[in-house]
């Protein structure tokens, strides 16, 4: 959502493609078909390792957007998940590793059954229909569900749980650039970050942002976008703050499960120094 105004007003400067699945993004990025991509933070580290360092993180674009939804009123704290089955999305990506970490930290790994659903839209439909009673989803799918089914409520803010447990912000998404492209086009990257920051600020403050987001097909309706924006933690964090916040999350994920970041922690050159 943060890129909406850039898409609308600068199509002559940037070619933006919206893709449904991280695997599709990976294929296009590794092949060189795209120069810059928005990906989960752990995927940035995995790609860095997979491509032998041919990845540069240029900004953090999304902080925590994960919530547990319930059709009911039995879950009001993280400990209430004990003995329950929760459906979730994001298997093999940041959402899974965040949930796994919090379960482990609370000694609840063996007390909670997690069933993964392939797509956000699929789980959102199950929750909206009442077929699923407990699920973990990111925004804007959370808002989509709660607008369709008023009996569904946000039971747990996992972003708050993460911050309370770790003392760090939950970095979920980053923008990455192909290193070769970055080295040859540093001014273009710098301009993109300026334009993206402007777009982010306007999305977070403009009255017409929700209408634009729906018009671009990023979410299904302006009503959903309007509710989702305040809970979506849309940001453009660069420089030292980017390095510190992203590194803290990657260190936690690595210590919990090295495979979550591709087996080894990336070097300091993972981050854009501009």
Q: Are residues 162 and 71 in the same domain?
A: yes
Where residue 121 sits, what CATH number does that domain have?
3.40.190.10
- Domain region containing 129: 66-166
Residue where a domain terminates, one of 166, 184, 210: 166
Taking all residues of the chain, what is their mean pLDDT, rounded to a whole number?
Answer: 95
Do 58 and 194 share a structural domain? yes
Q: Are the C-beta atoms of 218 and 225 separated by less than 8 Å?
A: yes
Q: In terms of domains, do 52 and 72 share one?
A: no
Q: Which long-range contacts (CB under 8 A, 24 or more apart) does 31-39 make?
A: 32/178, 35/177, 35/178, 35/181, 35/185, 36/175, 36/176, 36/177, 36/178, 36/181, 36/189, 36/192, 37/175, 37/176, 38/3, 38/62, 38/173, 38/174, 38/175, 39/173, 39/174, 39/175, 39/176
User: With contact defined as beta carbons under 8 Å apart, do 22 and 30 qualify?
Assistant: no
| Rounded-to-integer distance, Cα 152 and Cα 142, Å | 9
Q: What are phi and psi of 95, to 5 degrees?
A: -55, -45
Are 42 and 132 part of one and the same domain? no
Same structural domain, 258 and 189: yes
pLDDT tens per residue across span 246-267: 999 999 999 989 999 999 999 9
Q: Are residues 51 and 179 in the same domain?
A: yes
Residues with Cβ < 8 Å from 115, sequence gap 6 or more?
A: 85, 86, 87, 88
Q: What Cα–Cα distance (Å) separates residue 127 from each residue in 142, 145, 221, 237?
A: 10, 7, 18, 33
Split into its structural domains, the chain has a count of 2
129 & 47 share domain: no
Residues 176 and 57 in one domain: yes
Cis before 233? omega within 30: no
Secondary structure element (H or E) that encloses residue 123, with its range = helix 120-129
What's the confidence (pLDDT) of residue 274? Answer: 67
User: Residue 23's pLDDT is what?
Assistant: 81
Which of 105, 136, 166 terminates a domain? The answer is 166
Q: What's the full length of the chain, in residues?
A: 274
Does 148 lie in the same domain as 92?
yes
> Residue 62 to residues 118, 145, 158, 163, 173: CA-CA distances in angstroms?
21, 20, 14, 15, 5
Q: Are residues 46 and 95 in the same domain?
A: no
Instruction: Give the DSSP H or E segment for 61.
Output: strand 55-62
pTM above 0.85, yes or no: yes
Task: Among 118, 138, 166, give the residue marking a domain's end.
Answer: 166
pLDDT digits (tens, 9 = 90+) for 76-134: 999 999 999 999 999 988 899 999 999 999 999 999 999 999 889 999 999 999 999 99
């Amino acid at each position: 959502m943060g890129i909406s105004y850039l898409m609308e007003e600068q199509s002559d400067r940037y070619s933006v493609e919206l893709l449904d699945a991280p695997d599709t993004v990976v294929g296009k990025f590794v092949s060189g078909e795209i120069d810059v991509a928005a990906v989960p933070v752990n995927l940035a580290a995995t790609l860095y390792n997979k491509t032998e360092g041919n990845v540069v993180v240029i900004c953090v674009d999304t902080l925590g957007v994960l919530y547990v939804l319930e059709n009911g009123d039995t879950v009001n704290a993280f400990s209430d998940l004990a003995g329950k089955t929760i459906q979730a999305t994001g298997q093999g990506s940041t959402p899974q590793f965040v949930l796994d970490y919090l379960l482990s930290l609370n000694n609840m790994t063996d007390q909670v059954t997690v069933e993964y659903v392939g797509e956000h839209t699929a789980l959102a439909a199950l929750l909206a229909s009442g077929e699923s009673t407990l699920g973990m989803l990111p925004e804007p799918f959370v808002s989509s569900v709660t607008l369709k089914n008023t009996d569904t409520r946000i039971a747990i803010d996992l972003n708050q749980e993460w911050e309370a447990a770790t003392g760090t912000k939950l970095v979920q998404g980053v923008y990455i650039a192909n290193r070769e492209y970055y080295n040859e086009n540093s001014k273009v990257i710098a301009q993109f970050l300026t334009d993206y920051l402007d777009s982010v600020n306007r999305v977070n403050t403009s009255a017409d942002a929700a209408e634009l987001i729906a018009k671009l097909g990023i979410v299904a309706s302006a009503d959903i976008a309007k509710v989702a924006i305040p809970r979506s933690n849309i940001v453009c964090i660069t420089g030292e703050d980017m390095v510190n916040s992203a590194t803290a999350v990657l260190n936690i994920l690595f210590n919990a499960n090295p495979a979550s970041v591709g087996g080894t922690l990336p070097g300091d050159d993972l981050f854009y120094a501009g």
